[in-house]
């Protein structure tokens, strides 16, 4: 297994030796070693504590709320740390765990090599140029919450020639929204006006407005919805509660209109029920949302097969990635379920989550 196998596996599964943003600190330290958690200074007045698990090439960021456990905020590889100081430096940066599995690492990874390795394993990569900085682009496997940041201009030669992969980082959230930013990033003021016009509008009028303004069927419609919700979400961070209520309503509308797949739509609304219980009176109950998610999941026995640690087909890897992300988002729903049967079934799924994508990394297809 070479270092290219490692990076291809990272791009395809979204995991570093089975670790990602859904992993807890104990799991990370069990796989990569302990003693490398560096707490950082929190901003004045912050109720959170921040930290980094630094393993040279591999990095995991953490946040801890006032009374809680560490939760991963980002994870992946800082490829640029491999450059510039010779083989002994690279050996130290890679660390013993990866060296034992993948041997020597090259100084630079080119996106063309990574893409070829990914495609040889039965997957594709999508990409988007950063709308605000076209000297950089991001590349990802659809459905995987991790992307490679790539040099796109000779003006960034300090990071390497065009095509150099500088880092491969991920976290919660869909990388597909990068395409929405590329497509509509130049229309931010227009989308903010759209959002302002929807604040406090009754559901029937909002539906009429959406009918009049959303693009026709096709890729632009999904990107348009993504960017509208990004715009409202950005305003809700520091704005009045009406912005958050609009964001919740748009997620519900996106599910009703088929913009979001049914399982993801249920997960999105369950998240709002957990985080903003006072603003979700119009949403289905938690029991109904979990029931909707279970209707889109495979049979539990199939889930157990996916979590068995064996090598998986490309289709099974994609399914396992989706299940792992969605189960992570549903992990705090159990105490809010009234149905004992639903709670028992969800608990069985949650037990499987850490073992999904724990098998052997994908290998190139024959021929």
In eight-state DSSP terms, residue 151 is E
User: Over the chain, what is the mean pLDDT?
Assistant: 93
Rounded CA separation 236/171 (Å): 21
User: With 60 as the cut, is the pLDDT of residue 53 above it?
Assistant: yes
- Do 10 and 77 form a contact (C-beta atoms < 8 A)? yes
H/E segment holding residue 40: strand 37-40
Tokens of 19: 């670790």
Tokens of 291: 């029931």
Identify the pLDDT of residue 315. Answer: 95
Q: Given pLDDT bands bounded at 50, 70 and 90, which one contains residue 45?
A: low
Beta bridge partners of 71: 63
- Do 176 and 225 form a contact (C-beta atoms < 8 A)? no
Q: Which residues, 6+ apart, have CB-to-CB distance to 321 below 8 Å?
A: 13, 14, 143, 144, 356, 357
Rounded to the nearest 10 degrees, the angle between the axes of helix 340-352 and helix 314-330 is 130
Class of residue 97 by CB neighbours under 10 A (exposed 0-12, middle 13-18, buried 19+): middle
Which of these, 7, 12, 63, lies nearest to 314 by C-alpha position? 12
User: With 60 as the cut, is the pLDDT of residue 54 above it?
Assistant: yes
What's the rounded mean pLDDT across residues 69-74? Answer: 93
- Do 254 and 272 form a contact (C-beta atoms < 8 A)? no
Q: Given pLDDT bands bounded at 50, 70 and 90, which one contains residue 366?
A: low
User: With 80 as the cut, is the pLDDT of residue 360 above it?
Assistant: no
Handedness of CA 125, 131, 135, 136 (dihedral sign): negative
What count of Cα atoms within 13 Å lies in the side-chain half-sphere of residue 10? Answer: 27
User: With 70 as the cut, is the pLDDT of residue 171 above it?
Assistant: yes
Which of these, 137, 149, 109, 159, lies nearest to 8 by C-alpha position? 109
Rounded CA separation 236/161 (Å): 39
Question: What are the pLDDT digits (tens) for 269-301?
Answer: 999 999 999 999 999 999 999 999 999 999 999
What's the rounded mean pLDDT across residues 305-319? Answer: 93
Identify the pLDDT of residue 43. Answer: 72
Class of residue 233 by CB neighbours under 10 A (exposed 0-12, middle 13-18, buried 19+): middle
Rounded to the nearest 10 degrees, the angle between the axes of helix 25-32 and helix 87-102 is 100
Helices (H), the chain: 3-13, 25-32, 87-102, 111-120, 177-184, 188-198, 203-213, 219-238, 241-256, 262-275, 286-296, 300-306, 314-330, 340-352
Rounded CA separation 144/154 (Å): 29
Identify the pLDDT of residue 284. Answer: 97
What's the rounded mean pLDDT across residues 341-364? Answer: 92
What's the rounded mean pLDDT across residues 114-143? Answer: 94
Tell me the domain boundaries of the chain. 3-175, 180-355
3-class secondary structure, 150: strand
By residue count, the chain amounts to 367
User: With 60 as the cut, is the pLDDT of residue 367 above it?
Assistant: no
Question: What are the pLDDT digits (tens) for 174-223?
Answer: 888 999 999 999 999 999 999 999 999 999 999 999 999 999 989 899 99
Identify the pLDDT of residue 38. Answer: 85
Q: Which residues, 6+ apart, have CB-to-CB distance to 38 below 8 Å?
A: 51, 52, 53, 54
What's the rounded mean pLDDT across residues 338-358? Answer: 97
Which of these, 89, 71, 69, lies nearest to 80 by C-alpha position? 89
Identify the pLDDT of residue 162. Answer: 96
């Amino acid at each position: 297994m070479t270092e290219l196998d490692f990076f291809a596996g990272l791009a395809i599964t979204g995991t570093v030796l089975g670790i990602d943003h859904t992993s807890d600190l104990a799991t990370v330290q069990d796989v990569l070693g302990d003693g490398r958690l560096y707490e950082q200074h929190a901003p004045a007045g912050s109720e959170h504590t921040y930290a980094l698990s630094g393993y040279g090439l591999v990095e995991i960021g953490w946040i801890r709320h006032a009374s809680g456990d560490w939760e991963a905020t980002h994870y992946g590889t800082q490829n640029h740390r491999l450059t510039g100081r010779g083989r002994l430096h690279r050996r130290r940066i890679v660390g013993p765990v990866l060296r034992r599995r993948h041997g020597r690492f090259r100084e630079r990874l080119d996106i063309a090599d990574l893409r070829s390795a990914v495609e040889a394993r039965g997957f594709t990569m999508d990409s988007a140029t950063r709308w605000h900085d076209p000297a950089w682009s991001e590349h990802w496997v659809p459905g995987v919450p991790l992307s490679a940041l790539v040099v796109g201009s000779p003006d960034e030669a300090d990071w390497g020639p065009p095509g150099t992969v500088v880092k491969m980082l991920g976290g919660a959230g869909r990388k597909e929204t990068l395409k929405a930013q590329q497509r509509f990033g130049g229309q931010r003021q227009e989308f903010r006006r759209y959002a302002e016009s929807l604040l406090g509008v009754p559901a029937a009028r909002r539906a009429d407005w959406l009918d009049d303004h959303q693009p026709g069927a096709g890729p632009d419609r999904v990107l348009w919805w993504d960017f509208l919700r990004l715009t409202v979400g950005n305003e809700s961070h520091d704005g009045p509660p009406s912005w958050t209520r609009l964001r919740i309503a748009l997620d519900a509308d996106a599910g009703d209109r088929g913009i979001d797949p049914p399982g993801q739509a249920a997960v999105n609304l369950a998240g709002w029920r957990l985080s903003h219980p006072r603003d979700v009176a119009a949403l289905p109950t938690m029991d109904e949302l979990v029931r909707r998610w279970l209707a889109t999941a495979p049979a539990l026995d199939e889930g157990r097969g996916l979590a068995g640690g064996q090598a998986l087909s490309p289709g099974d890897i994609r399914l396992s990635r989706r299940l792992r992300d969605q189960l992570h988002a549903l992990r705090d729903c159990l105490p809010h379920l009234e149905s004992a049967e639903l709670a028992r079934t969800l608990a069985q799924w949650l037990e499987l989550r850490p073992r999904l994508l724990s098998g052997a990394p994908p290998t190139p297809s024959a021929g």
